[in-house]
Structure 1
Amino acid sequence: MAETDAKAKVKASADEPGPTEIRSYAVRTELTKAGVWLGLALLIGACIVLIQPILLIFAGIVVAAMLDGGTRLLGRVLPIARGWRLLIVCLLLVAFLAWTMLFAGSQIADQVATFQRVVMAQIERLATWASEHGMGNFQLDAKTISDNLAGTVGRVTAAVGSVVGALTSAVMIVVLGIFIAIEPRLYERGVAWMLPMKSRENFYITTARMGFTLRRLMAGRLLGMAVEGVGTWLACLAFGVPMAALMGLLTGLLAFIPNIGAIVSGVLLILVGFSAGTDTGIAAIVIYLVVQTVDGYLIVPMVAKRTVDLAPALVLGAQILLGALLGVMGLALADPIVAMIKVALEREAERNAGAGGKAKPGA
């Protein structure tokens, strides 16, 4: 009998709440809220600390969109397996880079050696002219300008600012882009697997639209880079502007950054043009205006009709903000980031409108 009572007491004590169990509903609710806010704060802190790898991953996604777009485009004329088409695109890219280095590598290397001297001489002439006309006393040299530029870059640029860091980051971005482009659905399904079942369909629709927009946006960007780079190179050769190959290369590369890239390339082109004389400087201005007109009124509208149409002021504001926070990499990726955010917001607005329309009949 005593043994039976002892077993009953043990069973009863096992069913009783322990000292760590919270029986109060209000306390459990508040602790849940506190846990959510703490987790959100930790997530924001992790994003701030890991902003460099996050941007590198996004840059890899942008590269993957370019490769995927080229693979899809090649599939329209060459009906073979996707893997072979992707391999052809990668080989064509490597062949183009090798041809560029062999064809214009030595010429560009020689021009780079004199480029800084020419630009600094022109800047000093402008500073002298401004001082003579009572606009202030400007003391400009290469060190002052480089220090000012270094002060405007963000954490990410500072982290990859060295030559070794830049090359390493570039290799990581390209390799990551190739891996994503090989099997993009694999990574899409992996991310969707971590989401609730009810959210997966919307996730697939949103990512499909983001991928379409990013491919079109990057296709237009590459087309604009090619038009501006080759056009500037040929025009500089025709009008005798010095360092034609380097000017074409810089203009093409800076065309990846809308708005600001065109301004920087134009300033450099005009400075180099006036270094060879007034007539050459005027020719450089004409070249810049013609190339930017062709890109702005032909290439950009043609691409914008097929992709998300971003307001120039919105893109410029995002470039200023991300450039100040994240440096050159944030500046270069501002346009794709804004495009992806706009697609996501449009999809969310579409869902909310659909949910509102379904709720009205039952109201």
Structure 2
Amino acid sequence: MMGERGSMAEFVRRVLVLIALLALVALTYKMTYLLLLLFGSVVVAVVIRLIARQFERIGLSQGIATTIAVLCIFGALAGLLWIFGGLISSQFALLYEQFPGAATQVQRQLNRWGLDFDLQAVAQAASQQASTIFQRAGGFVLTAGGVLTDMLLVLVGAIFLAANPEFYRKGVLRLLPRSAEPVAARTLDDSGNGLKLWLAGQAVASVFVGVLSYVGLTMIGVPSAAALAIIAAVLELIPYVGPILAAIPAIILGLSVDPTTGLWTLVLYVVIQQLEGYVITPLVQKRAVELPPLVLLFSIFAAGALFGPLGVILAAPLTVVVYIMIQHLYIGQVLGREPKVPGHHD
């Protein structure tokens, strides 16, 4: 009789554990968007810490250095907006006005060449596909939120994280068994280091692409060169997919001038990406996480399909962190092999 009661108690305990796990999975799924915002705060906090560390090297305390770093970021954004705000806004307004006419002119040119290609239909199909991907996040977005609310939440969270990162690091480690603390600590440290190296590398690549795009488009004579260069620099943060999306409006505007300008625009973007891929990226990867290209490419599409634009933006840094976690927790602990550490490659 006692044995039957013990078996029943064990069965009930297992059922309760299973229910608790399922509830945790369901809660995590419902809070996916909020967790992505939290990860966005981590990424921004890493940027703040990168800047703050430069001030800490001259003897300033962590709190003062972090405050100065935040003020530097706000000051840089305000300065760029004040100096280039009028130029950039006028360039984007011009781009918005010119693009429909440019697309129509390109369509007429294709018709004159006898090419059976409906550019407008393709553009509408692409727009519908993009809308489908970007609206998948609707179920995850907080109803009381919005873009500005999300940005404010990410920024405030980043400031708190950057002000005292060690406090939150210790808090995470205290949730784990003592036996798992050393591995978890190494994983967290390498994840943070990997994010820093990735962000530094992407910043260099974005500036490189933006400057070359502006110079090249201006020399070729493509309209709205400044706006197109900004688009190219920003979309460079999305590997593989971003450069293709950035090249499309530039090529169409180039073709609206004349076919030769359109062809030179295509050549320009190809050359810039080749230089970025074979010069900048290898230099960056010597000190960063060398992600398998196929993994990174599919992670971007998967994140976009599941979580919308925020998933696309955070896909690459999230893949960096997941890759490092797999190196430590699976390859290192389960397989017993030496994990790859950010900044050290064979």
Shorter chain as denominator, the TM-score bin is 0.7 to 0.9
| Farther off after superposition, 83-92 or 50-59 | 83-92
Q: Which residue among 269, 272, 281 is the counterpart of 2:262? A: 281
How far apart are residue 47 of structure 1 and its match?
Answer: 1.7
Shift of 1:303: 1.6
Matched, 1:113 2:93: yes
Choose between structure 1 and 2 for higher RCO, CA contacts under 8 A separated by at least 6 residues.
Answer: 2
Q: Percent identity?
A: 25
Per mean C-alpha deviation after superposition, the further-off stretch among 83-92 and 48-57 is: 83-92
**Alignment CA distance shift 1:145-1:115 (3 Å):** farther
* Paired residues of 1:51 and 1:156 also in contact (CA < 8 A): no
Q: Does the residue aligned with 1:24 lie in a helix, a strand or coil?
A: helix
* Partners of 1:67 and 1:90 within 8 A in 2: yes
- Offset at 1:80? 2.6
In the other structure, the counterpart of 2:210 is: 229
Q: In structure 2, what is the Cα distance between the partners aligned to 1:132 and 1:235? A: 27
Shift of residue 188 of structure 1? 0.9
Deviations 1:24-57 (A, max 9, x none): 2222222222122212211121122111111111
d(CA) in 2 for partners of 1:142 and 1:158? 26
Letter in 2 for 1:260: V
Structure 1 unaligned segments of length 5 or more: list them. 1-20, 356-363
Superposed CA RMSD in Å reads 3.0
Indicate the residue corresponding to 2:195 in structure 1. Answer: 214
Give the whole-Å Cα distance in 2 for the aligned partners of 1:265 and 1:137: 21
- Is contact 1:120–1:141 with CA below 8 Å preserved after alignment? no
Q: Report the TM-score when normalising by structure 1.
A: 0.82
Q: Which residues in structure 2 correspond to 1:224-263 (within 5 Å)? A: 224-263=205-244
Q: Answer whether contact 1:247 1:269 (CA < 8 A) is retained.
A: yes
Q: 2:30 touches 2:140 (CA, 8 Å); kept in 1?
A: no
Is 1:334 aligned with 2:327? Answer: no
Paired with 1:274 and 1:265, the residues of 2 have a C-alpha distance of: 15
Once residues 177 and 95 of structure 2 are traced to their aligned partners in structure 1, the CA distance between those partners, rounded to angstroms, is: 56
> Is the 2:299–2:315 Cα contact (8 Å) retained in structure 1?
yes
Q: Distance in 1 between matches of 2:273 and 2:299?
A: 21
In structure 2, the gaps of 5 or more residues are 338-346
Residues in 1 aligned to 2:241 and 2:4: alpha-carbon distance in whole angstroms: 60
How many Å separate the matches in 1 of 2:175 and 2:134? 35
Whole-Å separation in 1 of the counterparts to 2:180 and 2:142? 40
Secondary structure at the aligned position of 2:334 is classed as helix
Letter in 2 for 1:245: A
In the alignment of these two chains, the number of paired residues is: 335
**More displaced, 323-332 or 275-284?**
275-284
Matching residue within 329, 334, 341 for 1:352? 334
Quote the residue 2:80 is aligned against. Answer: 100
Higher-Rg structure is 1
Match of residue 342 from structure 2: none
Shift of the 98–68 alpha-carbon distance from structure 1 to 2, 3 Å rule, reads same
Q: TM-score, normalised by structure 2?
A: 0.86
Residue 166 of structure 2: aligned partner: 185
Match of 1:52 in 2: 33
Aligned counterparts of 1:157 and 1:232: Cα–Cα separation in 2: 34
Q: 2: distance between equivalents of 1:118 and 1:157?
A: 31
Instruction: Choose from 167, 184, 208 the match for 1:203.
Output: 184
Asked if 1 retains the 8 angstrom alpha-carbon contact of 2:238 and 2:312, the reply is yes
* Alpha-carbon distance between aligned partners in 2 of 1:247 and 1:159, rounded to the nearest angstrom: 31
**Greater alpha carbon shift after TM alignment, 123-132 vs 285-294:** 123-132
